[in-house]
Structure formats: C-alpha cells, structure tokens
Amino acid sequence: MDKLLKLLDNDARLTLEQLAVMTGKTEAEVADQIDEWQKTGVIRAYKALIDWDKTDREYVTALIELRVTPKRDAGFEAIAERIAGFEEVESVYLMSGGYDFSIVVTGRTFKEVAMFVSKRLATLDSVVSTATHFVLRRYKDKNVMFLTEERDEREVF
Amino acid sequence: MDYEKLLNPRLVATQPSGIRRFFDMAASLDNVIALTIGEPDFSTPWHIRQAGIDTLEKGKTWYSPNAGFVELRRAIAAYLKRRFTLQYDPTSEVVVTVGGSEAIDLTMRALVAPGDEVLVPSPSFVCYAPLANLAGGVAVAIETRAEDDFRLTAATLKAAITPKTKLLILPYPNNPTGGVMRREHLEEIAEVLRGTDIMVLSDEIYAELTYGGERHVSFAEIDGMWERTILVSGFSKAYAMTGWRLGYACGPKPVMEQMLKLHQYGIMSAPTTAQYAAIEALTNGDEDVEYMRAEYDARRRLIVDGFRKIGMPCFEPEGAFYVFPSVEITGLSSEEFCRRLLNEKRVAVVPGTAFGACGEGFLRVSYCYSVKHIQEALKRIDEFLEEFR
C-alpha cells in the first residue's frame, strides 16, 4: 500500500508538512499527490469517527440483509443506486452468499428504522425479502477501539 | 547479620540501571507523557501468538533441549544465511537463550578471565560494563562522538587496545544513539582486529531495524571475522516479542560449547512456548518485520524533524528506535534537563548519561509510540525550551 495513503487512512488530519516529513517527500509532492487522488476519486472524503454514544444524539443503527431479483432494466447496479439514494442509508454492499445486499441504516429510533425498512425498502419492486439486525453496541470501527481507552501496559524499563 | 560483609563486593559495587531510576521518578507523577520505553508498542503478530497457543493446547509444555529445539536452531541458521549469508551449524554453533541479555552474559562469562579488558563503545546499552565486571573483567569505555555519527572508529579502537584486551563489544545498530555501522565501517574495525586474538561480541538485536536504502551487515560477514565473533540477537525487537524472552548466540563451536555449559547449569533451557512461537516468526514473519519497520521509519522522520524544528540538534539515527538529541542549547546537564522537563512539562525521557558518561549532553528518546503521542510530547518540549531561547 502506498505509504502516504496508509498514513491518511490512519489519520487524515496530519498536516502536509508532517506527511512530507514522514514519507521523505516534499510538501509540494504530497499536495500534488493528494490533489490527484481527490480528483480521481481515490480519496472520497475526510470524516471524523465519532463515538455518538458519548453525545446526546439519539440514534440506532441496523444492518439489513436484502434479497432482490435483478431485472433486465434494473440490474444490481441500478438497484444499489436506488437504495443508496435514501439519506437514511449509510452504506450499501453487494454480497456473496445467502443474500444480495448488505445495507447499513441509521435512524433516531428502532421504530423509525423499522418503518423505513417496511415502507421504503421492502416496497421496492425488485426487493424479495429483508432481514433487519439492530446494532446493540459498537466495540471497534475502522480499526479504532470504542470499548476502552487505549492504555499503554508496557513496563517502564 | 551484616549483609554488607556477606555480599559479593563486585555485585554490591555495581549500580542498578540508570534508566530504571528515572522511571521511578516519572511513575510518581500524574499526566506524564513518556518517551522512555525501549520496546515495540506493537503486540506480537497474531500468527506468532497463535503458534504459541497451538502448542499450549497440545500440552507441549516440557523442557526443550538445553541449546533449544533443533527446529528453532535450524530456523535461526537458515535466517542468518538468507539475510546475512552467514553459515552456522545448528547443532553445535547456535544456543537459544533467555533474551539477548542472557546471550551477552554467557559470552562475557565464557570468554572473560580475571583482569581481562572488555572494550565497550559508549554510549551503549547499560548491561555490558556491569556484566564484564561481574565476569571478573575490566570494562573499558571507548567514547563515540556525534561528529562520527556515534560509530566506533579504527583510531579510537586502536588507542584502546592493550595486551590485556580480550573482547570488543560491537553494539550496532546502537541503543541509545540509533547509530549504525555500515559495511565500510565494519571493514575498518576488522582491519584493526586482524592478526590479534581479540574476540568480538556483536550485539545485533536491532539488525532488522535499520532505515534508508542499505540493510544491516553482520560483523561476522566481514572477511576473517566469523571465527572471532559471537553474534548475539533475538526476537524482542524485530518481532515485537519482548515478553517471550527469547534470544540466541551463534559462534565458533569451542566457545559455544562453554556457553552451553553455563546455560545448562544456570538456565536449563529457554521457554518452550516462546521457542515454538519463534519458529513461526522466523518462518513466516518477514512481512510483519517489514510492516513494523516502515511504521518506525515514519515516526523516526517525524521526531527527528520535530526536534530540529524546535531547535534541538539531533543526529539522524539510522537504526533501532531511538533518537539522541542534544540539550546543549539549554546549558543544562542531561540529568537536570530530564528532571526539569519531567517536573515542569510532565514529559519523561532518559538522560544520555544512563548509557555512559559520554552520553552527557544528550537525551535518549524512544519513538515506540503513536504519532499523536510523539506530537504531544514534542509540543510540550517546545514549550519547555521557551525560556532558553
């Protein structure tokens, strides 16, 4: 993996100066490279990973398994695009195995998510069935531990 | 009882590690950000841990042969061959030890007779001089200097050799300076040693952690040096296996036979589970080493640049995971600098003097820490320097 991408993947807030030092490149080279990645879509976005449980936001997340029947004029791609269009939908993945799409949906309450699934998702023409799994607790996400604060357990030798 | 009278006077006269002393000070304060620890912040790669677990599940919990499992000794020999083109007979020229530290102790005790001089380039890791003295020898420090990139030079070596010189320690890549000896520098040292009976303990525990294009060259690879070299290494630094306590020594059979006796009586055998894990490390661990090395390299660049930007000159370390910046601009001694930095800004680093008198004027700063941690420490050190500008 490219060193620069790896550093950004881990911490997108490193400054150009720090990135340049850490990779042995000039700041201009780093800036050009990042520009290019942004233009070509290699880098899609920079977001903070927030532990919402520590805020007063009321929310609930569900993973939804979706089985669909692709039609001549609506293949997987088209269905995915349609589903991704809902603002409640955080992620959409085409899956191997027993179902076709895995979808991450966030809402304010269980009921809100349930309503979204039954009213908006399940009613789509190509959707055959849905199975909704609510997330109870997030322990780790994007390589970051949410369960505990990271502690240095090393002995001071 | 008057224990003072009863105890071994050589041991009583030996000072405890100066690194330790500083830690105890740091441990008594809150909100301390430490850059003191000389061990990887990574856990042992999972497949290596799993290899240990598998053998525990199968109940393989007995002693190993004294010198270590032959599969492990074969794996060590194969590794040394593929990485450094070194040839060792796994059955008679390799001993698996409890960390590199035991291997150093065995080498000293096998070679050093009362009155023998042991040359120790300084600054260097804390154990060489005490172990040489405890073996009955006399440790003689050879000062290495920032202007020589903390390398041992032929001239200073020549000047230190006497008819009593028995053993030269070659601690490279170096803890605490991060200095390395490239092939041409080793050739220079070899030229001085050729024709003498001086043996060499080459402590290459950081061999996998060198940065820049060239990789580490073992002293035993240099023409004519194999027969006088005891190569000491281990698994702690390269594979993040410090707690498993596993190292090894390789050298000519007549020396290894003596070392094995000491090991047999004093230790019996190195930890069995660790040995199984180590076979996995040597067989399938190259990618892990490369991954961790790249991580350290990025942090190394960041911290060297950081010290230079805040006005502390810092020699560019090419090995291990330490930087060795100079405190000269503050006019403080290493010890004072560290004490005040700890008390005023709650940053713990180790004074260079913990690694020998000629470490005066420097700090050992470990970069086995996350980028965030390093940045915070640098920020605080920058604030501390404010009054000296």
> What is the chain A residue with the closest CA to B126?
A157
Nearest to A21 among B34, B39, B301 (CB): B301
% of chain B at pLDDT higher than 90: 93
Domains in chain A: boundaries: 3-40, 52-140
User: Please, what's the largest Cα pairwise distance for chain A?
Assistant: 67
Is the confidence at residue A100, as pLDDT, over 80?
A: yes
Q: Which of B101, B124, B32, B119 is nearest to B322 (CA)?
A: B124
Pairing relationship of beta strands B350-351 and B363-366 according to DSSP bridges: antiparallel
Count CB-CB contacts under 10 A for residue B292.
22
Question: Which contacts qualify for B10-13: CB closer than 8 Å, 24 or more apart?
Answer: B10/B133, B10/B134, B11/B134
Count CB-CB contacts under 10 A for residue B23.
18
Domains in chain B: boundaries: 3-44+287-388, 46-285
CATH code for residues B46-285: 3.40.640.10
Nearest to A18 among B19, B20, B302 (CB): B302
Nearest to B371 among A11, A156, A157 (CB): A11
- Picking from A5, A9, A22, A26 by the largest number of B CB atoms within 10 A of its own CB, the best residue to mutate is A22
C-alpha distances in angstroms, B94 versus B88, B152, B228, B277, B291?
Answer: 7, 27, 15, 18, 28
| B39 in reach of chain A (CB within 8 A) | yes
| B371 in reach of chain A (CB within 8 A) | yes
Contact (CB<8Å) B38/A157? yes
Q: Please report the pLDDT score of residue A72 as a whole number.
A: 79
Q: Which of B40, B104, B25 is nearest to B322 (CA)?
A: B40
Give residue A71's pLDDT band: very low, low, confident or very high (50, 70, 90): confident
Annotate A102-126 with b (16+ C-beta within 10 A) or e (fewer): bbebbbeeeebbbebbeeebeeeeb
Q: The dihedral of CA B183, B185, B186, B190: what is its sign?
A: positive
Q: Which of B30, B34, B205 is nearest to A154 (CA)?
A: B34
Nearest to B298 among A7, A154, A155 (CB): A7
Hey, which residues does A5 pair with through a beta bridge? none
Q: Which two tokens stand for residue B1?
A: 């009882």
- Chain B hits for A7, CB-CB cut-off 8 Å, are 298
Q: Spell out the per-residue pLDDT of chain B, length 389, in tens.
A: 999 899 999 999 998 887 777 777 788 888 899 999 889 999 999 999 999 999 999 999 999 999 999 999 999 999 999 999 999 999 999 999 999 999 999 999 999 999 999 999 999 999 999 999 999 999 999 999 999 999 999 999 999 999 999 999 999 999 999 999 999 999 999 999 999 999 999 999 999 999 988 899 999 999 999 999 999 999 999 999 999 999 999 999 999 999 999 999 999 999 999 999 999 999 999 999 999 999 999 999 999 999 999 999 999 999 999 999 999 999 999 999 999 999 999 999 999 999 999 999 999 999 999 999 999 999 999 999 999 98
Give residue A156's pLDDT band: very low, low, confident or very high (50, 70, 90): low
Per DSSP, the residues of B97-111 read ESHHHHHHHHHHHHH
Identify whether the C-beta of residue B377 lies closer than 8 Å to the C-beta of residue B35: yes
- Chain A hits for B314, CB-CB cut-off 8 Å, are none
d(CA B160, CA B118): 10
Q: Which two tokens stand for residue B150?
A: 């903390």
For the stretch A122-153, pLDDT in tens is 999 899 999 999 999 999 999 898 887 777 88
Give the distance from residue B162's alpha carbon to the nearest chain A alpha carbon, in angstroms.
35
Compute CA A85 distance to the chain's CA centroid, rounded to the nearest angstrom: 15
Identify whether the C-beta of residue B301 lies closer than 8 Å to the C-beta of residue A21: yes
Half-sphere exposure of B168 (CA within 13 A, CB side): 28
Identify whether the C-beta of residue A80 lies closer than 8 Å to the C-beta of residue A94: yes
Average pLDDT along chain A: 93
Q: Please report the pLDDT score of residue B248 as a whole number.
A: 98
C-alpha distances in angstroms, B184 versus B85, B145, B154, B215, B382?
Answer: 17, 18, 11, 13, 38
- Picking from A14, A49, A157 by the largest number of B CB atoms within 10 A of its own CB, the best residue to mutate is A157
Contact (CB<8Å) B301/A3? no
| B113 in reach of chain A (CB within 8 A) | no
Fold of the A52-140 domain: Alpha-Beta Plaits (3.30.70)
Give residue A157's pLDDT band: very low, low, confident or very high (50, 70, 90): low
- Picking from B28, B302, B321 by the largest number of A CB atoms within 10 A of its own CB, the best residue to mutate is B302
Contact (CB<8Å) A11/B302? no
Q: What are the respective helix, strand and coil percentages of chain A, to the nearest 5? A: 35, 25, 45
The CATH label, of 3.20.20.70, 3.90.1150.10, 1.10.645.10, 3.30.70.60, for the domain at B3-44+287-388 is: 3.90.1150.10
- Could you give phi then psi for residue A144, rounded to 5 degrees? -110, 130
- Chain A hits for B39, CB-CB cut-off 8 Å, are 154, 157
